[in-house]
A and B are shown apart, each in its own frame.
Chain A
């Protein structure tokens, strides 16, 4: 197997040009440093003592969104925005659909609302399961101290066994088949319309959902038991989760129902302080009174912060406007979960980790499994609801459109869509705040903390890659997620600059899992 990262442009075989059409085998050379320009790249700047002054985590932003959508019919937004993201198109589709409801001032009939939430719960179940086993797994199932080459999805499969891996894939396939049944296709659905959904649910469809939902609940319980036996029974893992290196005392934001319980699909947005007290509770269309964005010269991403507190820099505590979204934040910002098994797990979570709120970033993995159980149970509840097969699934809009905001809880955190149109419903202005923007300031703080812990007097430890990777993996940030260019996966690169700005060390994890310096 060729190690592409080792090859330099000079030594690499020359590519065949497009002028010739003879099939010729070639190799590809990719310089991760170049490939990663702005893609998950970490820049560390040292002071004159060789200790960390600042560390930056850079992520790319897709360019031109506002310009692209201006002048297009608002009804196209659920399709356009879902095509932007290759990872969570369903979240964009649903946020856009809800923004259209608001734009056209129309309330979907009860069956349509339930179908949407059922569809969305199916998506959350599928996404959370995949993330836990295959993507978060390397940190806990394989273990933080395992050799770098094993800390990947193949290492997870080796640890849990092929049968469990196959079970995950089979469950996922069944969930995606249900999504296709309702949404037309599993990715890039065509379900949402202003005022309802494009397809009703039949009694046969309902029966299929009931069967899969029952199995999904069982699967989620199995997953929670796996987490508890692998992680919670290992005191080293628990120590790691609760260690200061992965702890930030910030605000938390999440969507809640009328009883302040987590809801992925709809509700009010609730913010709690670092002490766990309610700081604000607001409707989606009030978000601009509570959320603002800060720009830094070194990053494309805008850093969201709580507007009433203002931007006070990358700082923790009650005075700082930095807040956090995603599974841990949702549990912190709520007062419970609406389904019985998940509620039991919710109570155990806080009892084990010392009460609310939990500030440990790595606890996101546990919170995600608890949410997996909630999503599966919610699926089961909705699938059993007799009203969900009511054929009335659309309220036709009659009002003149002007402005609409739609918010959902994506797997990776709160997702805002905001559109303004002319009276014909043609987009004049659009704004999205995605989960990673909400979390960007806290991610930057996590990266800096890891860098400060592992770089002393100019000495850069290889362990910094593991620490940083673990810190941001828990947030599961989005990075220009719609592009498909090979190789698709992205190595983590850390560059360390001295006080004069010169690069003194560059570390990256290569295809074989080894850490290399240049």
Chain B
């Protein structure tokens, strides 16, 4: 698949606040049908490789646990704003390491990545509900993801 822009929502709907990305994907489908190329993934580690390939600009929606911000707070970051150590097992490999490996191997990965991540409370309770503050962030993050996708698309059009 070759997309100019893609919105990639990461999460697991079975695991409390980890469902955030899935909820945003649902919201985008409902409120902005057909307006962006949307991909939803429950995978982690290197399994994300195929999801981040063959696209020029990528908008990632995910959750984050910094413990430095209120639950539901939104972070908008670029890939370079986050460093994370190398993983020692598939369980330790994240999005950023996957992107680094792909670049190193000269695979077609995005030129620009923006990440919309919401501070969450619990990602390990199976069948747990999303925290109300996380749930409340869903419509706004869906709109923001679409805004970013449009912005990337218009920048690409200007360059043509």
Binding site for B on A (CB under 8 A): 1-5, 9, 12, 14-19, 21, 23-31, 34-35, 40, 60-65, 67-68, 80, 83-84, 86-88, 127, 130-131, 134-135, 138, 151-154, 157, 162, 165-166, 169, 172-173, 176, 186-188, 469, 472-473, 476-492, 509-513
Q: Report B41 CB to chain A, min CB distance, Å.
A: 8
The 8 closest A-B pairs by CB, nearest first: A488-B94, A511-B83, A152-B86, A86-B44, A68-B127, A487-B84, A9-B68, A18-B137
Q: How far is it, in angstroms, between the C-alpha of A176 and the C-alpha of B68 when the chains are bound? A: 39
**Across the interface, which residues of A come within 8 angstroms of B147, CB to CB?**
21, 23
Contact call B75/A509, Cβ cutoff below 8 A: no
Name the residue on B nearest A157 (C-beta). Answer: B104
Q: Of A30, A83, A187, A469, which contacts B65 at CB under 8 A?
A: A30
**C-alpha gap A157/B89 in the complex (Å):** 16
By beta carbon, the residue of chain A nearest B63 is A485
Report B's interface with A, CB cutoff 8 A: 10-12, 14-15, 17-18, 21, 42-47, 49-50, 62-70, 72-78, 80-97, 100-101, 104-107, 114-115, 117-120, 123-128, 136-137, 140-141, 143-144, 147-148, 151
CB of B67 within 8 A of CB of A481, answer no
In the complex, which of the residues A153, A186, A472 has the most CB atoms of chain B within 10 Å of its own CB atom? A153
A107 and B5 alpha carbons, distance in the complex (Å): 48
The distance in angstroms between the C-alpha atoms of A131 and B14, with both chains bound, is: 27
Q: Are A154 and B62 in contact (CB under 8 A)?
A: no
In the complex the two chains form, is B96's CB within 8 Å of A86's CB?
A: no
Assess the A28–B90 pair: CB atoms within 8 A. Answer: no
Asked, given contacts A23-B147, A29-B66, whether A486 binds B117 with beta carbons under 8 Å apart, the answer is: yes
| CB-defined contacts of A28 to chain B, threshold 8 Å | 64, 66, 75, 77, 81-82, 117
Q: List, in ascending order, chain A residues with CB within 8 A of B73's CB.
A: 15-18
Chain A residues in 8 Å Cβ range of B137: 18
Q: Report yes or no: A485 in contact with B76, Cβ–Cβ below 8 A.
A: no
Question: What are 15 A-B contacts defined by CB distance under 8 Å?
Answer: A31-B66, A63-B124, A80-B14, A84-B126, A135-B89, A166-B107, A483-B15, A485-B18, A486-B65, A486-B94, A487-B95, A488-B95, A489-B92, A489-B93, A492-B88
B92 touches A490 (CB 8 A): yes
Asked if B12 contacts A483 (CB within 8 A), the reply is: yes
Q: Are A480 and B101 in contact (CB under 8 A)?
A: no
Decide if B50 touches A173 in the complex (CB within 8 Å): yes
Which chain A residue lies CB-closest to B90?
Answer: A87
Query: Which residue of A5, A173, A482 is within 8 Å of B14 (Cβ)?
Result: A482
B88 contacts which chain A residues (CB < 8 A)? 135, 138, 469, 472-473, 492
A186, B43: Cα distance in complex, Å = 10
- With contacts A4-B83, A26-B81, A481-B44 taken as known, whether A154 is within 8 angstroms of B104 at the C-beta atoms is yes
> Measured between alpha carbons, how far is A34 from B68 in the docked complex, in Å?
10
A236 to chain B, nearest CB (A): 21
Q: Are B83 and A483 in contact (CB under 8 A)?
A: no
B49 contact set on A, CB distance < 8 A = 169
CB neighbours (8 Å) of B92 from chain A are: 40, 479, 489-490
A513 touching B85, Cβ below 8 Å: yes
Known: A23-B144, A166-B105. A18 touches B136 (CB 8 A): yes
CB neighbours (8 Å) of B120 from chain A are 485
CA distance A485 to B62 in the complex (A): 6
With beta carbons under 8 angstroms apart, the residue of A9, A34, A80, A488 that contacts B45 is A488
| Bound-state Cα–Cα, A88 to B115, Å | 26
CB distance from A359 to the nearest CB of B (A): 22
**4 additional A-B residue pairs with CB within 8 Å, beyond A80-B14, A84-B126:** A21-B140, A30-B66, A479-B92, A513-B86
Complex Cα distance A131/B91, Å?
A: 11
A23 touches B76 (CB 8 A): yes
Are the C-beta atoms of B104 and A165 separated by less than 8 Å?
yes
Docked Cα-Cα span, A92 to B123, in Å, equals: 20
Are A134 and B101 interface neighbours, CB within 8 A? yes
A86 with B86, Cβ < 8 A, contacts A23-B151, A169-B49, A482-B15 known: no
Chain A residues with CB under 8 Å of B94's CB are 486-489
Smallest CB–CB gap between A129 and chain B, Å?
Answer: 11
